[in-house]
Amino acid sequence: MRTLYTLSLSIFLSAFALLCYADDCQNQTFSYLTTSSESFAPFTDQSVSGIATWGYNSQYGAKIGSPNNEDWLISPVIDAREIKSMSFSFEHTYKYGEDPQKEMTLWATAYFTGDVTTTQWTQIPITQYSGNWKYISNSYEFPASLLGERSAIAFRYLSSANAYPTWQIKNFELKTYCQEKGPVESPVDLPDIGDGRLVICGQNLHNYYFNFADTDRPDYNSAAGFADKTHKIVNALLMVNADIYALCEIEAQDIILRQLADSLNTIAGEGTFDYVTDKISVPNSTGNNIKSGFIYRKSKVRPYGNNSQGSSQTYYCNTMRIQAFEELSTGARLTVSMNHFKAKDSSDDGGNSKRERNAQDLLASLKYKAADPDILIMGDLNCEYDEQPMQILVNAGYEEQLLRFDPYAYSYCYYGDTQLIDHVFANSTMASQISGAGVFHITTSCGQDGYFNYDYRYSDHDPYVVGVNLNPTTDLQNTTIESKRVRKIIVNGQLYIILSNQQVYDAWGRRVQ
């Protein structure tokens, strides 16, 4: 058995460099295992069993592969007592082996004793593995519960006589932050949304991709850039403290919502949030590789019915999504439609005819796919209220809620010009249950009262927020009976309302029998 390493001078110096005092704290970035490195220092290795140890190659990074071996690669020790939050990222690949989730694992601790066998470790599940020497990026928020006096991160390699993969790790980057993890006090005012029991937040996340190497859409091209953007998104979303997050302009893959929900849970607590599975998986080489999706607080709501497309058009079937939710405390429901309409372009009408088609398609889809008649239409609709696509919604009986509560609302800044192109429309039954709505000016370049700070900016659109008090009963228009308590059923994919006198109406108040 190889003798365990003790803390080296390089670890001590790295730990000292990472100290972050409350009175002079600075956000810092540390890069290790890069192509310019001559060894895996200031990481160290400790062998628990077997004869192999971690080696290093400037092209491939830290590397190990041997049968009957347990060996750990350990980061510099971090005094994180005054650090408010950390994120880290790395690239890795492997070949051979049988079960990568057991053979190659990631761990963290609040107090590294100097000996991996006596340290209390917490496993951080590795999000993605990639075989055959194709590197893949992984990014994480360091668990808040493990920010301690001697925090550390470690990669554990475990092999057997028959299964012994070769594992390579490179481009490890650690970011420390001085601002508190959310929910925290915001640098700008949160909008006043009244006393709504449920809080719903919409947001364009500006080309948020986990698999950023497969596309040129994001404004970052490294795992560190992805981790930094994720950190800012998580902080902002937790400041809002919503129960439903409706998101657009995100990668059309399952992984993006899963990892964002996991990042939220790292701070809010395990199991706090989950995401709605939509079964969308589009290669980033295609033209429709963005989508809209939903994350929700499990203690307040649950998805109800199917996650449906709001358009039959190939591109927009991913960016226009419909999902109903049920409030756990009351059993009341609402339908949330999250959308990303056609962007303005250089065509003769600036793409307006396509946005009109978006609005028409959405109304037609909601007619048959809304699992509850109380409907919110949200999203980056790429036009202002007085433009024709929005008037199609208005003429169908929908009222814009951001302008209802603030006639000067804006969500987007174009060269200093404020615009409201993100919207919240509600039909009449839904509008009566809204306590307030507004925009949270945390990220647009115009800022609130001149405020703008790149430490918080992650998108060119601000998040917008709605407060809702759902009624356990739904009042239908065009009914004259004294009692309007209802129950709702879905038959062959269509919603019907049954009143207490057994009269049946469709979701738009038209009597069926």
Residue 423, CB half-sphere, CA atoms under 13 Å: how many? 26
> Tokens 């000292």 map to which residue?
16
Residue 198, CB half-sphere, CA atoms under 13 Å: how many? 29
- Radius of gyration (C-alpha) of the chain in whole angstroms: 26
pLDDT tens-digit profile, the chain (513 residues): 233 332 332 332 333 333 333 334 567 889 999 988 999 999 999 999 998 899 999 999 999 999 999 999 999 999 888 788 888 999 999 999 899 999 999 999 999 999 999 998 999 999 889 988 999 988 888 988 888 889 999 999 999 999 999 999 999 999 888 755 444 556 788 999 999 999 999 999 999 998 888 888 998 888 778 888 998 999 899 999 999 999 999 999 998 999 899 889 888 888 899 999 999 989 888 878 999 999 999 999 999 999 999 999 988 999 999 999 999 999 999 999 999 999 988 888 888 999 999 999 999 999 999 999 999 999 999 999 999 999 999 999 999 999 999 999 999 987 678 899 999 999 999 999 999 999 999 988 675 554 556 678 899 999 999 999 998 754 444 333 333 455 666 665 567 777 666 667 666 566 665
Burial 366-376, CB ≥16 within 10 A → b, else e: beebbbbbbbb
Q: What tokens were used for 390?
A: 């929005």
**Domains located in the chain, CATH noted:** 9-177 (2.60.120.200), 198-468 (3.60.10.10)
Q: Does the predicted model carry a pTM greater than 0.85?
A: no
- Asked if residues 292 and 319 have their Cβ atoms less than 8 Å apart, the reply is yes
By DSSP bridging, strand 198-208 and strand 244-251 are parallel
How many CB atoms sit inside 10 A of residue 134's CB? 9
Rounded-to-integer distance, Cα 171 and Cα 90, Å: 5
Q: pLDDT digit string (tens) for 87-135?
A: 899 999 999 989 999 999 999 999 999 999 999 899 999 988 998 899 9
Q: What tokens were used for 502?
A: 């057994």
Q: What tokens were used for 16?
A: 């000292």
Question: What is the spatial order of strands in the sheet that 375-380 belongs to?
Answer: 301-309, 320-327, 333-340, 375-380, 422-426, 399-400
Q: What tokens were used for 490?
A: 């879905």
DSSP string, 482-509: S---EEEEEETTEEEEEETT--EEETTS
Task: Please report the sign of the dihedral spanned by the C-alpha atoms of residue 171, residue 177, residue 182, residue 188.
Answer: negative
Cα first-last separation, the chain: 81
Would you call 103 helix, strand, or coil by DSSP? Answer: helix
DSSP state of 107: E
Rounded-to-integer distance, Cα 369 and Cα 339, Å: 15
> Tokens 């970052």 map to which residue?
220
Q: What tokens were used for 254?
A: 């399952």
Burial 116-125, CB ≥16 within 10 A → b, else e: beebebeebe
Which of 148, 263, 160, 143 has the alpha carbon at shortest distance from 208? 263
Helix then strand count (H, E) for the chain reads: 9, 28
